[in-house]
Amino acid sequence: MGKNLLALLSLIMLCVGLAFPSAVAAGQKIPEKLVYSLSWTGITVGTASQEIVDEGENRRIISSARSNDWLSKFFPVDDRTESVLLKKEPFPGEPRTYRMLFKEGTRVRDREISFNIAGRVANYHDRIKGERAIVPIGPETFDIYSSFYYVRHQPLVPGKSFYINVLDSKKLHRIEVRVLKRERISVPAGVFDTVKVEPMVKPVGVFEGKRGAYIWLSDDDRRIPVKAQTKVTVGSVTAVLTGGNY
């Protein structure tokens, strides 16, 4: 079950960790903080949060995920990421640095990416293994978490798709995001009219042979991610919005 949780956390932060053009960006509230409850087949297993703040000429995105006391007894999870971007269009800006520090059971991952958008390269550094790499990138490339805010600020038309360049560790991915339908849903934070999207991330591990994840974004100019869900080998894992500042 620990693997199920970790796989969902990665997908949520990709999709509750994806964002729109400047016309829609006017609806983005900064600072914004979103808080989620994570569950597996109806059993609460942890919490997650994502926050964006302005700091002078930069924007900072801070994401975290933690297992609850029950899961922590045999598989503690304490994950944190930070993305720093220069304030530019398109929203949320131009990536500068990305840092992830994941503590999952006995495993620790500590990685950093520095972006040089003008030079079309990114510098990858695995702080645990000491590994470094230079990765070619395109003019509009985002890390896995800032990409979420970019997706939130795209026109979402049911039946249409759009694409985004995402750099995750040492490999650049061009991900299709499918806009599926409008749907009214209820979560602990309230009842929302939403647009359901499906980022076509490649399934791996417990997701092999299955679809990736579904994300429900509020159908207004804020595009708040109110729910994320994915099927796993046994049952499904779900994140629902419980509160925050939005």
Portion of the chain with pLDDT greater than 90, in percent: 52
The mean pLDDT value of the chain amounts to 83
Average pLDDT over residues 7-16: 44
The rounded distance, in Å, linking the Cα atoms of 167 and 16 is: 16
Residue 202's pLDDT band, with cuts at 50, 70 and 90, is low
Query: Of 65, 132, 49, which is closest to residue 101 (Cα–Cα)?
Result: 65
Least confident of 11-20, 135-144, 183-192, 194-203: 11-20
Contact (Cβ atoms closer than 8 angstroms) between residue 75 and residue 65: no
Average pLDDT over residues 49-58: 94
Residue 224's pLDDT band, with cuts at 50, 70 and 90, is very high
Reported as type and span, the H/E element at residue 217 is strand 214-218
Residue 36 has pLDDT above 80, yes or no: yes
Q: Which of 2-6, 135-139, 230-234 has the highest mean pLDDT?
A: 135-139
pLDDT at 99: 95
Average pLDDT over residues 177-202: 93
Query: Of 71, 98, 117, which is closest to residue 17 (Cα–Cα)?
Result: 98
**pTM attached to this predicted model:** 0.82
Residue 134 has pLDDT above 90, yes or no: yes
- Compute the Cα dihedral for 19, 24, 29, 35 and give only its sign: negative
